[in-house]
Amino acid sequence: MHDYTIIYFPVRGRAESTRILLADQGQTWKEEVVTLESWMQGDMKKNAVFGQLPGFKDDKFELYQSNAVLRYLARNHNCYGKNTQEAALIDMVNDGVEDLLLKYAKMIYQNYEDGKDGYIENLPSDLKAFEKLLSKNGGGKGFIVGEQISLADYSLLNILLVHLTLAPNCLHDFPLLKAYVDRLSARPKIKTYLESDARKNRPINGNGKQ
């Protein structure tokens, strides 16, 4: 039995794929919520390996970098593919999700008012790669890589949910991705988590924009 703790600001942000993974894998975890005020005091920032959050603990084992946390959990819970080629494809998808997340965060935190419309207009060029990958894996009826759920599904589901909040019609031209979001969101443990008050009360981003 693991003793997991997510250490983060009171947002979904970069910890959300981890939360979805843990929920779906039937794991419990604690939330160590760091307020901006306590972060500004500086001690926690000094102790964080790269001066940033999220942090993660498995009992006394501490980890930073959200994608390293995802990979650690994927290894612990057997959702990192069935061989090294699947693992590499899972990394590829997750890196693609990371690229999109960075673009999204830049728009949200630095250019929301002026940049939102243009960002949404360009979104199909970012999403089409995921639709294509999905179509090539068993006709798009299952997971993004292989035949079992992986960390790439959790991070892809999260970024798609984030974008559906930003632009509710963004999957209109991507029927496989739309069905994929519906299918994964309906997995009982994910559904319970997505509908939980804890999640609903946690904003997506730290500046209230979404």
Sites of contact with ligand GTS (CB under 6 A): 13-14, 45, 51-54, 65-67, 206
What SS3 string covers 75-124? HHCCCCCCCHHHHHHHHHHHHHHHHHHHHHHHHHHHCHHHHHHHHHHHHH
Nearer to ligand GTS by Cβ, of 63 and 179: the residue is 63
Nearer to ligand GTS by Cβ, of 7 and 194: the residue is 7
Helix (H, G, I), strand (E, B) or coil at 70: helix
Q: Which residue is nearest to ligand GTS (CB)?
A: 52
Provide, rounded to whole angstroms, the least separation between the CB of residue 166 and ligand GTS: 16
Provide, rounded to whole angstroms, the least separation between the CB of residue 34 and ligand GTS: 9
**Between β-strands 61-64 and 55-58, what pairing exists: parallel, antiparallel or unpaired?**
antiparallel
Nearer to ligand GTS by Cβ, of 1 and 40: the residue is 40
Provide, rounded to whole angstroms, the least separation between the CB of residue 162 and ligand GTS: 12
Nearer to ligand GTS by Cβ, of 51 and 118: the residue is 51
Give me 84's structure tokens.
């090294």
